Structure 1
């Protein structure tokens, strides 16, 4: 199951996994391999009956159709996020967890995954998004950061950079009439939400 918080509302979508082996879904390709292996290793004196073969092929066809429908539904849901702000929590291995904020401007399927293109140019998996925000969602996120310590993104590579405290937030309107959020930090910087790596555990004053 996948749970997605949308502007204070929680939506749960059903998983498309029909069968599982261990912790991995048994997909149509796995099903076909099993069927081929059965045919190759069947007893020549007791071949698979037509009805049994037809039944297994029907199951394969049904599984394929259900997975295709699930993929189409996931793509449609991702397309509906275009134009909305999102918040994602991304694991970066030894570099820790990264918060990513941005507005979705495009959707691109890649293999079994669906990627969202943000206004910063960055692409993230739709499965990494934990909040799809309403019109005031990003502003509320910014206000919640006031008084907290945050890590900035490292300008020289992966991982976080320096720790600063957010002391104020304000909004500006750019040349295209879009609202831009600006955070003022304890070291005199004015940063955007995209410059944040994560919220520091210690939120006391620096």
Structure 2
């Protein structure tokens, strides 16, 4: 059978392709009240358009993440400047609290130190073995809904706190001299599966600022 004969047959029997559309990768679609068959090429174009939309959504997500990262970096920069503008450990702790409150919307911040130079700081000095053991075990920031009773005692009873980020404060030798705890009544603020890169940087920044002030005291 020649090509012209095939085409003539299809012209005379349009229902043939409709009946076998699925078998040959064709798709029927309504047009002007009649059922027509979408060619394989047209179907590919539709699939490409769909993939295009998916890629656009992914690109938008990447842009939004980049903008979010830029905002966090800006806040870290402001925190750095605030810490550098103060001289003693108490002032630097106060500056850290203020930046956490203003820039990160966190007003539940606890810092405990057992450096010898902090012994006279009744609010922040805590040399209990339990606290030092907690910090030693925090090789990376720990996030989640649980904190031990000692940590919970550092915060007011209300609002009920439901998520915590616990970060060890360490010197250049890797030895812990304190611990930083951020808390929230939002259970999704600090979760097990969240990335802790920026929390680690906050811990390193706070460690360097506080240790230099303590050693200069």
Normalised to the residue count of structure 2, the TM-score between the two structures is 0.28
Bigger share in helix: 2
Higher strand share: 1
TM-score (norm 1): 0.29
